[in-house]
Every structure is written in structure tokens, then in C-alpha cells.
Structure 1
């Protein structure tokens, strides 16, 4: 197997890993009530995820064009990373929304307590 056959897979692993990291950091920020920072990080996660998908799409186009992509354990591993990054990003968006709702409700409760 040639080194070039692994290069795109390693790029997907690295880029998807960055995306997942940004997603997890966004969740942590949201838990702390830092919603602007959480949204910035989820935007970075989206950018990295898009890049990883572009790399994957290039391989699919290569295969569809008649130039087979060598399948090896590193390629399979890269697809696992991409899938997990995608799931992490989707869940992070939901969790940010939930944390925002919780913070807003806590603020409303505190306002009501002050009026009583």
C-alpha cells in the first residue's frame, strides 16, 4: 500500500477529531452559561465537519469515476471518526439549546422570587 493511500484517511481523522473537540468544548461552554462562546465553537465544529465531508466526497467521486479507493483499516477508522464527529456536532447543537432553555428558566424563576 502506498503512503498516498493513507493520506486522505489521516486528514479525515484529524479534521473530524478537531470538529468533535470543538463540539465537546461548545457543550462545556453552554453548561457554564457561555452561550456566545458555545455558538462560536459549534460554528468551528461545523467548518471542520464540512472539510471532513469534502475529503470523503472527493474519495467517493474518485471511486465513482472508475479509480478505486483502496480500502484499509485506516480508511474504515476515518469513517468512524467522521460519523462520531457528525453525531457529536448534532448533539452539541441540541444540548446548547437545552442549556440555554435551562438558564432562561432559572432567570425567570429568580425574577419571580424577587417579586414575591
Structure 2
């Protein structure tokens, strides 16, 4: 596999993991809204798993950069990083929303 194909595979992995993390976080909100807090917690953990995968890929990219193996930065690379950052923000917000639904259910 050539360098360009390898970079594309890494970038697409980031986009896919970011999208999956965001989707799982959204499912957690929906589950909490329906009162299924066990499922909500499960979906938040699932989201965290996708974000961990993305983080591991990013760490690999940073390690290569530190070794002097500079990656070509394309619009797709920037998009993948944006996707991850949005997923992290959405996951954090989803955790807060799930907590709010739990508190509302206690009353």
C-alpha cells in the first residue's frame, strides 16, 4: 500500500470513528429522553470507545510527525480533525444532557 493510500485510510478512520462517536452520543440522549438510563450509559461508553480509537490514530500521526515524517496536510486531513473535535464536543454535551435527564427523573 502506497503512502497516499495509507494516509487516506488513516483519515477515513478518523472520520468514521468521529461519526460513530457522535451517533452513539446522540443515541445516548435519545435513550435518556425515553428514560432508559442503562442504555444511555452504554451508548456514552460506546461513544468513548470510538473516540479512543480516533485518539490512538491521532497519537500515531503525532508520533510520526515527531520522528520527522511529516504528513501532507490536505483539506481532507483538516476535515477529519474537525470531525473528531466536533464529536468530542458533542460527546461531552451528551453526557451533561443525560445527567440532566437522570436528575429530572429523580424528582
Q: Could you tell me how far apart the structure 2 residues matched to 1:76 and 1:15 are?
A: 15
- How do residues 1-116 of structure 1 correspond to structure 2 at under 5 angstroms? 2-105=4-107
Cα drift, residue 3 of structure 1: 2.1
Q: Could you tell me how far apart the structure 2 residues matched to 1:50 and 1:2 are?
A: 24
Instruction: Note the alpha carbon deviations across 1:32-70, whole angstroms, 9 max, x for none.
Output: 110000000000000100100110111011001110011
* TM norm structure 2: 0.94
Instruction: Note the alpha carbon deviations across 1:90-114, whole angstroms, 9 max, x for none.
Output: 1111111000001111xxxxxxxxx
**Secondary structure of the residue that 2:19 maps to in structure 1?**
helix
Q: Could you tell me how far apart the structure 2 residues matched to 1:93 and 1:2 are?
A: 37
Structure 2: 5+ residue runs without aligned partners? none
* TM norm structure 1: 0.87
Cα drift, residue 7 of structure 1: 1.4
Cα drift, residue 74 of structure 1: 0.8
Structure 1: 5+ residue runs without aligned partners? 106-116
Segments of 4+ moved more than 6 angstroms: none
Aligned-residue Cα RMSD (Å) equals 1.0
